[in-house]
Structure 1
Amino acid sequence: MTLLAVHLALTAAYAGFQWTVRALVYPQFAQVPPAAFPAYERRHQQRISRVVGPLFAGQCVTTPWLLADRPAGTPLPAVVAGAACLAVVLGFTGLGAVPLHRRLDRAWDSAAHRRLLQVDTVRAVAATAGTAAALWALLG
């Protein structure tokens, strides 16, 4: 039960973080003067990694742990669904958000910014679904 509660806390914290980034942080990028944007973006990447890193790390521990040693009464489909949601988040992060941030730290690019907003919407929705799956796993 403790593992399931920790997992739920991590997924919920990440989903809240992701929606905050999507709704508040990324839209503000367009307000930064283009000449100042590369430095702003590099600082953003440094600071945001301090928050997202532990949340990713925690989920990357609890998710495989639940897959390998699911507590009695925990529905397997809930654990698998949560793992799939995490895979979507990590995939869209590594293959979408990270390369877009690298483009943006060289120069402001409105097309890259629009694409980042799209990628981030997928991450936020997947994170929310992962939280729902974690709750399902906990409540069984």
Structure 2
Amino acid sequence: MTLLAVHLALTAAYAGFQWTVRALVYPQFALVPPAVFPAYERRHQQRVGRVVGPLFAGQGVTTLWLLADRPEATPLAAVLAGAGCLAVVLAATALGAVPLHRRLGAAWDEAAFRWLLRVDSVRAVAATAGTAAALLTLLG
């Protein structure tokens, strides 16, 4: 039960973080003057990594643990759905958000910014679905 509660807490924390970034942080990017945006973006990357890194690591550990040693009465479908959601988040981050942040770290790029918003919407929705799956694992 403790593993399931910790897993739910981590997925919910990440989903809340992701929605905050999507709804509050990223829209403010467009308000930063282009001349100073690269420095702003680099600082953003450094600071956000301190928050998202532990959340990703924690979710990775609890997800792998659930896949390897699922507690009795914990629905396999919910564990697999949650693992799939985490995979989507990680893939969207590695293949979409990280390269787009690198482009934005070099110079303000309106097209890259619009793509970042799209990629981030995918991450927010997948994180929310992952939280729902984690809740289902806890409820059994």
TM-score, normalising length from structure 2?
1.00
Q: Specify the alignment match of 2:120 in structure 1.
A: 120
Aligned position for 1:133 = 133
Instruction: Tell me which residue corresponds to 1:60.
Output: 60
Find out whether 1:79 has 2:82 as its counterpart. no
SS in 2 for 1:72: coil
Letter in 2 for 1:119: V
Q: How does 1:4-83 map to 2 (within 5 A)?
A: 4-83=4-83
Cα-to-partner distance string for 1:65-110 (whole Å, 9 max, x where unaligned): 0000000000000000000000000000000000000000000000
CA distance in 1, matches of 2:121, 2:92: 10
1:33 shift after superposition: 0.2
Give the Cα–Cα distance (whole angstroms) in 2 for the partners of residues 137 and 73 of structure 1. Answer: 9
> Which consecutive residues of structure 2, in runs of 5 or more, have no partner in the other structure?
none
**Aligned residue type for 1:127:** A
| Identity fraction in percent | 84
1:121 aligned partner, one-letter code: S
Distance 1:136 1:114 in 2: 34
Structure 2: which amino acid aligns with 1:61?
Answer: V
**Matches of 1:115 and 1:26, distance apart in 2:** 11
C-alpha distance in 1 between matches for 2:70 and 2:125: 25
Structure 1 residue runs of 5 or longer lacking an equivalent are none
1:49 Cα deviation from its structure 2 partner: 0.4
1:95 is matched with 95
3-state SS of the aligned residue for 1:71?
coil
Match of 2:34, as an amino acid? P
* Alignment: residue pair count: 140
The one-letter amino acid of 1:51's match is V
Paired with 1:46 and 1:104, the residues of 2 have a C-alpha distance of 14
